[in-house]
A = this chain, B = another copy of it.
Amino acid sequence: MSLTEFSIIEKYFHQANKSRRDVVLGVGDDGAVVKVPNGYELVIAMDTLNSGVHFPTNTKPYDIGYKSVAVNLSDLAAMGAEPAWITLSLSMPQAEEKWIKDFSAGVFALLEKYDAQLIGGDTTQGSLSVTVQAHGFVPEGKALQRSGAKPGDAVYVTGSLGGAGLALSQQNVPSPILQKLTHPQPRINVGILLRYIASAAIDISDGLAADLNHILEKSGVGAVVNVEDLPMPAEFKKLDEDQALHLALTAGDDYELCFTVPQSNLDALEKIKEKLDCPVTRIGVVTSLNQLQFQYGDGSEYVIAKKGYQHFSS
């Protein structure tokens, strides 16, 4: 079937019964008009997912919609921001109503969970590609940045590492592992509670080694990580140790948070742990050595063969 751009937008992308008080004007004009509350700054994150690059061409439309929002909310989480609005640009070769219906269901599943509103965007003809921009609030001066880690800070990660990578590399993985890939949970709640506790944070999209390195480079520091402390999915017990560690350190797509906490805030972190909706695990310490080292518990070095995925790398 064939639909015009306007009827697609009307039918599947209007949230008729959704209107945040800070949205003056939503979908349907040349632009959206919104308000940022006094005392807050606006955090903005934009990520694009292309078919065949960021997800397999046979991915379900619901999962594409879900993930295109999840990866952006994950960026907000890493900044300590509370989600408010998203915009969405959807390019597709043709407009199939069933596909669009399922895709939009995936988008709205996450938006409704976080009381966020779709306020605008674009639908165009082209190769299948989704760009989402997420907008969130953070109290003035309280955004978590990559640049704040200091020697002596403890290094933490949320949840477990490597599950999405295993699901990408193997078929017929157990359902909890597949969920890590298809329906990652943005760590919004953790990010908000870390605003006054963490010194630096990032979300793990390209693998722990690559993403922790971003914190270290921006902060001008190094770190030692104990690979025996890495939290991994229960199903990883069936893997040999080297495969498990390699996935946990280098596989992307988990969308967990990696963050650093000054020693003076460790008590505060303990106190908020019960409010967190996922475990957090201490995996290492920030050093002044300007390099990232991986060790076993006995102090011997663990060497990883390669780092996370980079587009256009030679």
Is A4 a contact of B312 with CB atoms below 8 Å? yes
Find chain B residues with CB under 8 A from A202 CB. Answer: 30
A91 within 8 A of B: yes
- Which residues of chain B come closer than 8 Å to A33, judged between CB atoms? 41-44, 79, 138, 143
Cβ of A272 under 8 Å from chain B: no
Whether the pair A44, B48 counts as a contact (CB closer than 8 A) is no
Segment at the interface with B among A124-132, A230-238, A244-252: A124-132
Copy tally for this chain in the complex stands at: 2
User: A270 near B: Cβ within 8 Å?
Assistant: no
Considering the complex, which residues of chain A in the window 163-222 have a beta carbon less than 8 Å from any beta carbon of chain B? 201-203, 218
Judging by beta carbons under 8 Å apart, are B127 and A127 in contact? yes
Is A262 an interface residue when CB atoms closer than 8 A count as contact?
A: no
Complex formed: what's the CA distance from A259 to B71 in Å? 39
Residues of A within 8 A of B (CB): 2-6, 8, 24-25, 28-36, 38, 41-48, 50-54, 75-76, 78-79, 81, 85, 87, 89, 91, 94-95, 119-127, 129, 131, 133-136, 138, 140-141, 143, 145-147, 201-203, 218, 310-314
Apart from A2-B313, A31-B134, what are 9 other A-B pairs with CB-CB below 8 Å? Answer: A4-B312, A5-B313, A36-B42, A44-B120, A45-B120, A46-B133, A53-B126, A123-B311, A123-B312
